[in-house]
DNA sequence: TTCTATTGTCTCATATCGTGACAATAATAA
DNA sequence: TTATTATTGTCACGATATGAGACAATAGAA
């Protein structure tokens, strides 16, 4: 049992989260920047001794995003013995004037359980923690270099999201309640990283029978107005 | 850092493994039975302080099966805080005359990373560990009741295996080097839990172009002899 | 030689997917 | 009012994949 401040956490165990949001054009994720270091990392945290792992992740994500009920998928546990022995954490502690004893718990080995989250981009208020001065959206193709094995974690998160795209209701969690067919298609294209054919996509999605059609959306553009849809679940 | 005997392990972290083998008819998994308790569990173990998680699982599985290079897939990390607070471990320790202090490490909370393995049924020599008097194959539909959340782990392992069936070369790891089309079909049927159409299955598998055809297999049966195949990878 | 069970392959109807065409629209311009 | 333009909803056609049955080619036994 490891003491950190007043609370006891499970030792040597952490979680990291890849929080996906969709800006309307690009898929983005939340990245933290640590004070005075130029070091970037995924939002993560620790598990209290009497806390479920899933609960811990939800708790941490609520602090970073302000959202209570977040769609979460655990996708891998990273357990290489040297994965966080890369020196960056020492730099971060120095920059934050934290004491660096040889046995400081933050410098120990950590096994990390990785989750990805899907959230409605507009509903998020990115909030840094004590060690960081920012928590911001970055497009997947414009990520800064990340500490430790976090780039690998992001890569695996995206791979898993792609594999799950057909089996889970991904669009529902990245879009607002009502959306147009084009918006849904943009989400699929951003995740798959390839363009899709409009007619094929529309036919396929509609044939699933999971969409409910609503009123039209008049945007002021001089062309036919698209229908709005919502998920029927 | 937790001392167990002479060696130091990561505290509060374990792994459990669902080892699949194919008997020719049914899908089976390895189950351990603890001394004098009638309690059954998945093979599992702990991670040394300086050991990669994947290495630890390979090491443990080599001890249970005798096989060096095992096909492994990590599929979930089980982290509920009460998952191993079910009292069974205390019974096992009493039956083995181990001291039960209040703070015994075996009774603490454990987060467990679960793996499934695919192995050639015939090559395994199931070997119990110190706490168990057997390590044996059980058909999936004839499993004994398992301790803690191990039944849930098995269920999730099978679900994952089914999902991975099309994307990974599952058959290669459950069958001997050479096999008939019928044997391969039986593997697929055992995993999916449903019967498949012979002609459709054969056409589909052959169209993948991953099989190499060898000589015929004459078994003495009074009918056309099937070809033997091997994976082309 | 005949018979039986199994295997390899083919055919045909059906379903699904890639591709393009086209009419219906919402606002603007004439 | 009437063209114009960009976008959307839907259909049509061929190509490809899948479900389901048919049938000839065996290997051994009767």
Residues above pLDDT 90, as percent of chain B: 86
The C-alpha atoms of residue A217 and residue A227 are separated, in whole angstroms, by 6
Average model confidence (pLDDT) for chain B? Answer: 94
The C-alpha atoms of residue A183 and residue A185 are separated, in whole angstroms, by 5
pLDDT of residue B3: 53
Chain A: give the shortest CA distance to residue B91, in Å: 23
Nearest CA in chain A to B110: A10
Q: Which residue has the tokens 């005359």?
A: B97
Question: Strand, helix or coil at B230?
Answer: strand
pLDDT tens digits along B80-118: 999 999 999 999 998 988 888 767 888 999 999 999 999
> What is the mean pLDDT of each successive set of 10 residues along chain A, which is 233 residues long?
70 98 95 95 96 98 95 98 94 89 86 97 94 95 97 98 92 96 97 96 95 95 96 85
Nearest nucleotide over every DNA/RNA strand to the B228 CA, judged by C1': C7
Please check whether residue B83 is in contact with residue B113, taking contact to mean a CB–CB distance below 8 angstroms. Answer: no
Which positions in chain A touch B81 (Cβ < 8 Å)?
49-52
Number of H helices, E strands in chain A: 6, 11
pLDDT confidence bin for B233, thresholds 50/70/90? confident
Q: From the CA of B207, how many Å to the C1' of D10?
A: 34
pLDDT of residue B7: 78
pLDDT tens digits along B127-137: 999 899 999 99
pLDDT of residue B4: 57
pLDDT of residue A101: 80
Residues of A with CB under 8 A from a CB of B: 10-13, 47, 49-54, 74, 76-81, 109, 111, 113, 163, 167
Question: Strand, helix or coil at B203?
Answer: helix
pLDDT of residue A104: 84
B224 CB neighbours strand C below 7 A: yes
pLDDT at B6 over 90: no
Name all domains of chain A by residue range, CATH numbers in brackets: 2-164 (3.90.79.10), 176-231 (1.10.10.10)
Listed residue (B24, B228, B33, B59) closest to B139, CA to CA:
B24
Q: Which residue has the tokens 């994952």?
A: B160
Nearest nucleotide over every DNA/RNA strand to the B224 CA, judged by C1': D26
Q: From the CA of A225, how many Å to the C1' of C28?
A: 15
pLDDT at B1 over 50: no
**Choice among A34-38, A152-156, B16-20, B179-183 with the minimum mean pLDDT:** A34-38
pLDDT at B76 over 90: yes
Chain A: give the shortest CA distance to residue B52, in Å: 4
């Amino acid at each position: 049992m490891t003491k950190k401040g007043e609370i006891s956490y499970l030792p040597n165990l952490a979680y990291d989260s890849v929080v996906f949001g969709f800006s309307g054009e690009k898929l983005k994720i939340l990245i933290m920047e640590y004070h005075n270091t130029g070091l970037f990392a995924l939002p993560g945290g620790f598990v209290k001794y009497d806390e479920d792992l899933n609960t811990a992740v939800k708790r941490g994500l609520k602090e970073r995003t302000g959202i209570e009920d977040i769609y979460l998928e655990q996708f891998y546990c990273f357990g290489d013995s040297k994965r966080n022995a890369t020196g960056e954490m020492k730099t971060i502690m120095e920059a934050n004037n934290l004491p660096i004893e040889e046995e400081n718990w933050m410098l120990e080995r950590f096994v990390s359980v990785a989750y990805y989250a899907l959230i409605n981009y507009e509903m998020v208020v990115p909030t840094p923690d004590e060690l960081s001065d920012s928590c911001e959206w970055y497009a997947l193709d414009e990520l800064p270099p990340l500490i430790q094995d976090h780039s690998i974690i992001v890569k695996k998160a995206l791979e898993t999201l792609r594999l799950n795209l057909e089996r889970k209701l991904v669009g529902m969690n990245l879009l607002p309640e009502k959306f147009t067919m084009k918006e849904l298609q943009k989400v699929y294209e951003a995740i798959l990283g390839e363009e899709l054919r409009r007619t094929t996509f529309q036919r396929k999605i509609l044939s699933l029978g999971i969409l409910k059609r609503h009123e039209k959306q008049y945007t002021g553009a001089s062309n036919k107005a698209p229908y709005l849809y919502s998920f029927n679940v």
